[in-house]
């Protein structure tokens, strides 16, 4: 199977409210030899306010983000989707991508009326190179040089790893440069820690993960928080009741099992609800870092032996009532999910119905005028909001006045209302002023000053536009 290494540059970190502005990917064969590459950029959508930290991190001036010669976000995502489909099936890999880049892609696909789960369907698999690197260093420290950060701790930032290992990464935070650095690190792990690489490839496949965790008498699960690995010997106790298809619950094997079993139901619920509690949850479709116990270095077993851990694991697995009790207590201690009022936060709130999926597919094949009819017939309110937004941004003139006004109100609310979910113009201005006061390097100051001037102009224009719309109900479009 081929690999697809990818990266995104975005306007910020708010999934659903920020946008991708640069996507890049390299396709390789099974031996990580490059066979194709692709990248696409787009201009800023009128309702998106970039975070000033993203502007300085990516080094992209606001004039470039607003270049009318660039494709629209919708056009870019159509290109990205087409390329990923062309490269399907593949193992799709990014650096810290499962938690961020893939989520940004899923939101972008959903908001442009596409299937958001493209990277995990159609026999695609996925993995995260950050977890791979951390696991490789823990298993075979000599395979990579890991530098120390400013606090004297190991840092796994991509830019720092590339520099420490003499990899070409002259344009850090450029999507294609980051893809190249990620691919180079994976080649080093493949050569220097081949067993870790093989497990990474194996467990990029959801079915392989499900089979492994169900059949093993215990295994090592390595989780990552704040770029720190946290390995735990665990055994599967059941599926997450809320996400049975992909969520799995495991019990740590290095605990006092007799003490846990003796707890009352209420006490058990409280213990399992603790952040670092004995139950660990992971998704089988998210490329988890798993290691058979017989392959785990002794230093990661916390003084226990493999035989001892497997004995505890078999005791747990053989007690179906105990497993059911643990799952029930864990589920009872969870904070109930609250449905967001913002459709941008509800990408994962269920699938559209079959009829809506057909309308969603037809949307891209018809003209703008016919798209209006399709949007009005969506049963899923999320698709209706996003479809109306796409039409407004693509060809406002085809919308009836009432629908155009609805879209304008929603888009301008996003720019100025704190309750709208995203970063507002005034909040961005305050943060820009704060960063300017601390900035000492001239390139950074220049980026921030240009962005500040743009924000001031946008605030003035949007305020005037909303005033005019309220007073005259004219049909002027949202100012770009």
* pLDDT (mean) for 200-224: 94
Domain presence at residue 409: no
Q: Is the pLDDT of residue 300 over 90?
A: no
Question: What DSSP string describes 36-78?
Answer: EEEEEE-PPPTT----HHHHHHHT--HHHHT-TTSPPHHHHHH
In a shared domain, residues 261 and 191: no
- Half-sphere exposure of 309 toward its Cβ, with a 13 Å CA cutoff? 25
Give how far the C-alpha of residue 327 lies from the chain's centroid of Cα atoms, to the nearest Å. 27
Q: How confident is the model at residue 476 (pLDDT cuts 50, 70, 90)?
A: low
Among 171, 196, 221, the domain-final residue is 196
Question: Could you tell me if 92 and 241 lie in one domain?
Answer: no
Tell whether 342 is covered by a domain. no
Stretch 84-108: mean pLDDT: 96
Contact assessment for residue 236 and residue 230, using Cβ atoms and an 8 Å cutoff: no
Please give the pLDDT value at position 433.
97
> Does one domain contain both 214 and 183?
no
How confident is the model at residue 474, as a pLDDT?
45
Tell which of 285, 305, 332 closes a domain: 332
pTM: 0.91
pLDDT computed for residue 301 by the predictor: 80
**Under 8 Å between Cβ of 51 and 431:** yes
Q: CB of 373 within 8 A of CB of 400?
A: no
Task: Report if residue 77 sits inside a domain.
Answer: yes
- What percentage of residues in the chain have a pLDDT greater than 90? 77
pLDDT in tens, 316-328: 999 999 999 999 9
Q: Residue 388 falls within a domain, yes or no?
A: no
Do 106 and 237 lie in one domain? The reply is no
As a whole number of angstroms, the distance between CA 126 and CA 288 comes to 10
> How far is the C-alpha of 70 from the C-alpha of 376, rounded, in Å?
30
| Cα–Cα distance measured from residue 39 to residue 175, given in angstroms and rounded to the nearest whole number | 8
Return the H-helix or E-strand segment holding 416. Answer: helix 401-416
In a domain, 406, yes or no: no
Beta pairing class for 219-225 and 289-292: antiparallel
Q: Do residues 226 and 267 share a domain?
A: yes
Q: How many CB atoms lie within 10 A of CB 2?
A: 16
Radius of gyration of the chain (CA): 25
* Residue 71, in any domain of the structure: yes
Q: Verify that 238 and 181 share a domain, yes or no.
A: no
* Judgement on whether residues 191 and 220 belong to the same structural domain of the protein: no
Domain with residue 40: its CATH number is 3.30.420.10
State how beta strands 34-41 and 20-28 pair.
antiparallel
What does the alpha-carbon distance between residue 393 and residue 45 come to, in Å, rounded to a whole number? 8
Statement to judge: residues 479 and 446 lie in one domain: yes
Q: Are residues 132 and 224 in the same domain?
A: no
Q: In this structure, is residue 337 part of a structural domain?
A: no
Distance CA 432, CA 399 (A): 36
Decide if 146 is inside a domain: yes
Domain of 182, in residue numbers: 2-196
**pLDDT at residue 339 greater than cutoff 90:** no
Mean pLDDT over residues 388-401, rounded?
94
85-94, 179-188, 330-339, 445-454: range with lowest mean pLDDT:
330-339
Q: Exposed (0-12), middle (13-18) or buried (19+): which is 415, by Cβ within 10 Å?
A: buried
Domain boundary residue, one of 151, 168, 196? 196
Note the maximum CA span of the chain: 78
134 and 161 together in one domain: yes
Clarify whether residues 8 and 155 are in a common domain. Answer: yes
Residues belonging to the chain: 480
Per the structure, how many domains does the chain have? 3
pLDDT digits (tens, 9 = 90+) for 45-78: 999 999 999 999 988 899 999 999 999 999 999 9
Residues 155 and 227 in one domain: no
Do residues 425 and 415 lie in contact, with contact meaning Cβ atoms separated by under 8 Å? Answer: yes
Please enumerate in sequence order all residues whose Cβ is within 8 A of that of 474, keeping only pairs 6 or more positions apart, or say none. 468
Q: In 3D, which of 244, 259, 389, 264 has the Cα closest to residue 325?
A: 264
Angle subtended at Cα 183 by Cα 178 and Cα 186, rounded to the nearest 5 degrees:
125
């Amino acid at each position: 199977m081929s690999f697809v290494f990818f990266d995104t540059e975005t306007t910020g970190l708010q999934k659903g409210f920020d946008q991708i502005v640069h996507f890049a990917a390299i396709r390789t064969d099974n031996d990580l030899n490059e066979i194709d590459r692709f990248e696409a950029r787009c201009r800023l959508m009128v309702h998106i306010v970039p975070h000033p930290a993203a502007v300085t991190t990516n080094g992209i001036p606001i004039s470039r983000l607003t270049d009318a010669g660039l494709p629209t976000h919708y056009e870019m995502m159509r290109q990205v989707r087409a390329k990923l489909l062309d490269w399907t099936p593949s193992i799709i890999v990014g650096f810290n991508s499962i938690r961020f880049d893939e989520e940004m892609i899923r939101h972008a696909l959903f908001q442009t009326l596409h299937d958001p789960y493209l990277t995990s369907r159609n026999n695609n698999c996925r993995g995260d190179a950050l977890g791979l690197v951390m696991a490789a260093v823990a298993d075979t420290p000599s395979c990579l040089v890991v530098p120390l950060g400013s606090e004297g701790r190991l840092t796994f930032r991509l830019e720092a790893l590339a520099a420490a290992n003499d990899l070409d990464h002259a344009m850090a935070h450029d999507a294609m440069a980051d893809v190249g650095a990620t691919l180079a690190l994976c080649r080093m792990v493949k050569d220097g820690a081949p067993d870790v690489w093989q497990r990474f490839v194996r467990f990029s496949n959801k079915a392989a993960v499900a089979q492994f965790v169900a059949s093993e008498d215990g295994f090592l699960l390595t989780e990552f928080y704040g770029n720190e690995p946290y390995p735990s010997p665990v055994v599967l106790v059941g599926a997450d009741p809320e996400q049975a298809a992909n969520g799995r619950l495991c019990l740590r094997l290095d605990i006092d099992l007799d003490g846990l079993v003796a707890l009352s139901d209420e006490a058990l619920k409280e213990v399992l609800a603790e952040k670092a509690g004995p139950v660990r949850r992971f998704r089988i479709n998210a490329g988890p870092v798993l290691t058979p116990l017989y392959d785990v270095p002794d230093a990661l077993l916390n003084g226990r032996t493999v035989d001892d851990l497997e004995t505890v694991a078999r005791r747990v697995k053989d007690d179906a009532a105990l497993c059911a009790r643990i799952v029930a207590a864990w589920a009872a201690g969870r904070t109930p999910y609250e449905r967001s009022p913002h459709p941008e936060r509800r990408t994962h709130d269920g699938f559209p119905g079959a009829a809506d999926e057909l309308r969603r597919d037809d949307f891209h094949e018809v003209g703008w005028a016919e798209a209006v009819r399709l949007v009005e017939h969506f049963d899923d309110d999320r698709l209706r909001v996003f479809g109306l937004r796409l039409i407004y941004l693509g060809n406002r003139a085809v919308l009836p006045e009432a629908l155009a006004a609805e879209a304008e109100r929603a888009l301008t609310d996003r720019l100025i209302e704190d309750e709208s979910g995203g970063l507002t113009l005034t909040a961005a201005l305050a943060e820009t002023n704060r960063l300017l006061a601390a900035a000492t390097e001239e390139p950074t100051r220049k980026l921030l000053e240009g962005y500040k001037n743009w924000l001031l102009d946008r605030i003035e224009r949007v305020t005037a536009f909303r005033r005019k719309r309220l007073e005259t109900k004219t049909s002027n479009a949202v100012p770009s």
